Structure 1
Amino acid sequence: MPYREPARTASPGDARHGDHESTHGAADGALPVGVTVFDDGYPGVSGLAPDLLRALRAAAADAARDGVVFYVNSGKRSPAYQNKLYREAISKYGSAEEAARWVATPDTSAHVSGNAVDIGHSAAKAWLSEHGARYGLCQIYRNEPWHFELRPEAVEHGCPPMYADPSHDPRLRR
């Protein structure tokens, strides 16, 4: 019997929740549950940077041999969708400073540029944490085990040290 992933549940800080799909559609990057890295019909997947998408697909093909499926919880996002997520985080966490630990602004988000992906299901996150550097795929933030970005140098040198959270990432400071 083929491996079947358990139902997806939101992680703390997970940027994708059901209400986003009703106010922001697929064109903005909102994704329904069950989308994989091979589902080109969704701009949230097909809009990812080509090198990132190639690395994800190579890793996903190898992970599938271990019975692991890479679901995309969030990929490429429109600036409007990112702004909505940022405003919601400010409301949830009470300040822009606290929100910055979980959600970047539209001007600084690697999701808006198509250079970041949030991978779903614990088996996929664990697989990527263990094997991702081989493909240049690295977890960037310790508090976001679902968030991966392409670091080509990781293939030879391993992933760089993680930032505690996005508020410590110098790329996101304005």
Structure 2
Amino acid sequence: MSSSAAAGTVSSRALRASLLGLVAVVLAVLVAVVQLWSAPSLDGGPWEDHGGTGGADGAVTAADGVLPDGASVFDDRYPGVANLDPDLLAALREAAEDAADRGVELVVNSGWRSAEYQDQLLREAVTRYGSAEEAARWVATAETSPHVSGDAVDIGPWQATAWLARRGAAYGLCQVYGNEPWHYELRPEAAGQGCPALYADPTQDPRMS
């Protein structure tokens, strides 16, 4: 075989290897997107239905923190937004303004919640998952939930959570749980130190015990 033919063969093999690598990356991205869209979200994630002013069984209303679809971080008329910790809300609004400049909208799917609303979400989680232990991976108790204290927010849609995953630390906004890419809390030190390591889920968070 001539040197030029050998070089052509090597080049073809390299091209095929590159194409296979690219296909693998694309498939991995698609799988990740599908997992995010299909992730269970009884704790107010971006794919939970928060429309209307009442909960699933009518026990809670907007006064308890239920938000309509598309609520923004600037919607002070809703207690679910207005009752968030002021520093968290300020960081969210700064991030939202910068995200908007890049064509990304930050939507609040759930923010502050009353204890009654949190209790209802927990009851629904136990029903869905069949045990309190499994439900605890997704929904905290009213006594431990940072939503009840106004210290947590669930952001959507997925474009917004992807944007925050890359840039949120600059605003002190950090994802806390590996299984909840929508759940963000304020960590002011993250602007200089980066966000802390994720807990796998809320059951690994010492605040929940």
TM-score by length of 1: 0.91
For the pair 1:90 / 2:118, whether they are aligned, the reply is no
What is aligned with 1:13? Answer: 41
For the pair 1:77 / 2:113, whether they are aligned, the reply is yes
Q: Which runs of 4+ in 1 moved over 6 A?
A: none
Aligned length: 165
- Give, in angstroms, the shift of residue 50 of structure 1: 0.2
What is aligned with 1:108? Answer: 144
1:5-29 residue CA offsets vs partner (Å, 9 max, x unmatched):
xxxx885224343562643111000
What is aligned with 1:50? Answer: 86
- After superposition, residues 1-174 of structure 1 pair within 5 angstroms as 11-14=39-42, 15=44, 16-17=48-49, 18=51, 20=55, 22-173=58-209
1:10–1:52 CA distance, 2 compared to 1 (3 A): farther
TM-score by length of 2: 0.76
Q: Any unmatched runs of 5+ in structure 1?
A: 1-8
What is aligned with 1:5? Answer: none
Distance 1:52 1:123 in 2: 20
- The share of aligned pairs that are identical, in percent, is 61
CA RMSD of aligned residues (A): 1.5
1:106-153 residue CA offsets vs partner (Å, 9 max, x unmatched):
000000000000001011000000000000000000000000000011
Distance 2:121 2:149 in 1: 15
Letter in 1 for 2:40: P
